[in-house]
Amino acid sequence: MTDTTFPRGLEGSCYTDPDVFAQELEHIFAKTWQMVGHQSQVGQPGQILTARIGDEGVIVANDNGTVKAFYNVCQHRGHELIPTDASGTEPVGSLTTATTGALSSGAALTSITCPYHAWSYDLGGNLLHARGEKVGEICVPQVRVESMAGFLFVNLDPDAPSLADTIPGVEDQLLAIAPDASERVFSYRRTHEVAANWKIAVENYNECYHCPNVHKAFSAGVVTPASYRIHPYGNTIHHTAEAPAPDKVAYQRADAADANDYGSFFTWPVSSIQCYPGRVLNTFRWVPLDVDRTLLVREWWFANATPTAEQMDIIELDWDTTVSEDFELMDSVQRGVSSRGYRPGPLINDPSGVATVHSENSVPHLHSLWREALALPAPVDG
């Protein structure tokens, strides 16, 4: 096969141009389903969670038994109803006691009070009172929220297809390897900001062409590299692999003959649910902070809210090896695509359409989704 049969990567400016990033916020992040958490976090009336979707903050709340989502924006003069950190997941600043209590302990919340002038809202986003003034009926604009195997996704676009229509078949495939996914609870979160465009992060995540070279622990102890397959289709990129032999497994697994598969389900553009052998369920979310800054939110979902010592071993091994090994790569690629010396290279495509550890089919697939979202023409070479 000659070089000319391979698709080419994107021009460097696609990863560095603030105007491109602004287009992405409008045409990708404001129009797609993005994971924000799990139904167990808002399982009881009064429970809420916060998240960041592109450049927008959202609140997901259990309003008397119904899960609702709305913008994290006070309809008085625009203060965030619940100020958060950059990940959107942790409250910061001067919160009311009631709000802080709900987020940290899961205690039932009956209202949300804006920190600025203390207008108060119910958990559906309806204004309850404006410090005694009659200001008329006001409701915070609503956001769509749907679930898949217990995981909650939101979409800012009222006209978007449903989540189920966007990623057909994924729920059944995920439940086949993690049958109790919808009963899991939030157990652990760790975040890290990379100095790279979000596309560099999700391209890196979705190819294992670099695994044999970079991820020695993952390749030796979590999966069998020869079995690794990556199937890109539609808005999903499905990774599958077999576990290593029992004497090579890197961590203690809740082992069972029927819990031996590795599966990862990436949903365009920035969400992934993955299951390590032993039904170790974990997720990746990427929050685009700027054209060259992306926050990784890495979360773990067990049957228990506090990880056991064995589960912490898995979490720490994963972070210290596979996850951290990618950080420097992404920062370096961002510097590289910013260089005058960068010419987009050929992408190694397996003609079967399914990638192994020797190919990177998901990268041009991601580029197709990106071009389609921005209404850009297909490249002449690909």
Instruction: Give 280-330 as a DSSP string.
Output: EEEEEEEEEEETTEEEEEEEEEESSSS--HHHHHHHHHHIIIIIHHHHHHH
Pick one of ligand FES, Fe ion, none as the site partner of residue 246 (Cβ within 5 to 8 A by kind).
none
* Number of residues located near Fe ion, criterion CB under 5 A: 1
Which of residues 80 and 326 has its CB atom nearest to Fe ion in the complex?
A: 326
Residues 44-103 contacting ligand FES, CB under 6 A = 74, 76-79
Q: Is 360 in the site for Fe ion (CB under 5 A)?
A: no
Long-range residue pairs from 102-106, CB within 8 A, at least 24 positions apart, any chain = 102/46, 102/47, 102/48, 103/48, 103/49, 103/50, 106/44, 106/47
Q: How far is CA 260 from the centre of its chain?
A: 24
Please tell me the count of residues contacting ligand FES according to CB under 6 A: 9
Q: C-beta of 78: minimal distance to ligand FES in Å?
A: 6
The Cα-based distances of 360 to 135, 140, 372 in angstroms read 57, 43, 20
Write down the least CB distance from residue 97 to ligand FES, Å.
Answer: 17
Instruction: Return the residue matching tokens 């903050």.
Output: 57
CB of 115 to ligand FES, least distance (A): 7
Which of 283, 305, 312, 308 has the alpha carbon at shortest distance from 105? Answer: 305
- State which residue, 51 or 140, has the beta carbon closest to ligand FES: 140
Question: Which C-beta is closer to Fe ion: that of 88 or that of 364?
Answer: 364
Q: How far is the CB of 111 from ligand FES (least distance, A)?
A: 13
* Closer CB to ligand FES, 115 or 346, in the complex: 115
Residue 102's SS3 state is: helix
Residue 165 DSSP symbol: H
Complex with ligand FES: residue 10 or 114, whichever CB lies closer: 114
Report in angstroms how near the CB of residue 80 gets to ligand FES at its nearest: 9
Instruction: Decide whether 146 or 325 has the Cβ nearer to Fe ion.
Output: 325
Angle between helices 324-337 and 198-205 (to 10 degrees): 130
Task: Find which of ligand FES, Fe ion, none residue 116 binds, CB within 5 to 8 Å per kind.
Answer: ligand FES
Q: Which is nearer to ligand FES, 79 or 210 (CB)?
A: 79
Q: How far is the CB of 320 from Fe ion (least distance, A)?
A: 13
Cα dihedral angle (88, 90, 94, 97), rounded to 10 degrees?
Answer: 130
Distance CA 19, CA 9 (A): 19
326 binds, among Fe ion, ligand FES, none (CB under 5 to 8 A by kind): Fe ion
Which partner, Fe ion, ligand FES, none, binds residue 117 by CB below 5 to 8 Å per kind? ligand FES
Site string for Fe ion, 323-352 (x = CB under 5 A): ---x--------------------------
Window 88 to 147, contacts with Fe ion (CB under 5 A): none
x/- map, 200-239, ligand FES, by CB under 6 A: ----------------------------------------
Strands (E), 64-218: 66-71, 112-113, 120-121, 127-129, 142-148, 151-155, 185-194
CA-based end-to-end distance of the chain: 15
Binding partner selected for residue 24 from Fe ion, ligand FES, none, CB under the kind-specific 5 to 8 Å limit: none
Site for ligand FES in 113-142 (CB under 6 A): 114, 116-117, 119
Nearer to Fe ion, 39 or 321 (CB): 321
Q: Among all chains, which residue has been given the structure tokens 């809420």? A: 48
Q: Which residues contact 348 (CB under 8 A, 6 or more apart)?
A: 6, 209, 358, 359, 360
Dist CA 192 CA 298 (whole Å): 8
Find the DSSP H helices in the chain.
Answer: 13-16, 18-24, 97-105, 163-166, 170-177, 198-205, 211-214, 216-217, 309-318, 324-337, 362-373
Binds 296, which of Fe ion, ligand FES, none (CB < 5 to 8 A, cut-off by type)?
Answer: none
Binding site for Fe ion (CB under 5 A): 326
Binding site for ligand FES (CB under 6 A): 74, 76-79, 114, 116-117, 119
